[in-house]
Amino acid sequence: MTRERTRSLSEVLDQLESSAHGDSIRIKEVIEKLGRKSFASLMLVFSLISTSPASAIPGITTTVAVITFILVVQMIAGRECLWLPQFITQRHMSTTKLCKGIGWLRRPVHFVERFLRERLTFLFHRPWLWLPLVLILFLTLFMPVMEIVPTSGSIASGVIALFAAGLLTRDGALVVLSLVLLLAVPVSVWYFGFSA
């Protein structure tokens, strides 16, 4: 997989917000705005949407899981340009809910950005990169089921967002943190599932 241009997290949110127009936006438009080579940016955007108030959109967790699964498979295969099936790219999202989610995310994103820097960059090279990619691949397989367990889908999406943010900013510490938190996802699903 070729290395994409390093971007700040706020820059990605700015690009996403600038793509919002009308009553709804197609996923295809988001992809075109961020760029078909921006695997990490796209993974970050869709996982963040699923952790924000926009996660109230029915089926968003499953949609994020499918998109992330396809992205990760292509990253493992070393593709340079993203491909997504038409039934996903033609899906619409409410721009009102999307913009509300972006606004909600800006404060925590600005806070996190103060601590980010390039480190542990060996984690972004094969074979090291394959470990988090494979683990996230397995996580996406369970995310559709998480639709019925409150907050669990947002937790899983948050883990994916941390990994994508680390990949985007070349901060290996975030990748390590995402792997640690990944272990907490099954525990969280079990806890919220049985206490609901």
| 98 part of a folded domain | yes
Is residue 2 in some structural domain? no
Q: What are phi and psi of 64, to 5 degrees?
A: -60, -40
**Taking the chain (196 residues) in consecutive chunks of 10 residues, what is each chunk's mean pLDDT?**
60 80 80 78 83 68 87 88 84 79 81 84 85 89 77 80 88 89 67 52
Determine the residue type at 48: L
Domain containing residue 40: 9-195
Closest CA to 141 of 72, 85, 196: 72
Written as six digits, the tokens of 83 are 């491909």
Q: What pLDDT score was predicted for residue 2?
A: 45
pLDDT for res 73: 93
Q: Classify residue 1: in a domain, yes or no.
A: no
User: Is 3 a domain residue?
Assistant: no
Domain count, the chain: 1
Bridge partner residues of 119 (DSSP): 171
Give me the pLDDT at residue 53, please.
Answer: 63
110 falls within a domain: yes
Question: Cα(152)–Cα(146) distance, rounded to whole angstroms?
Answer: 6
- Does the residue 153 lie in any domain? yes
The reported pLDDT for the residue numbered 56 is 61
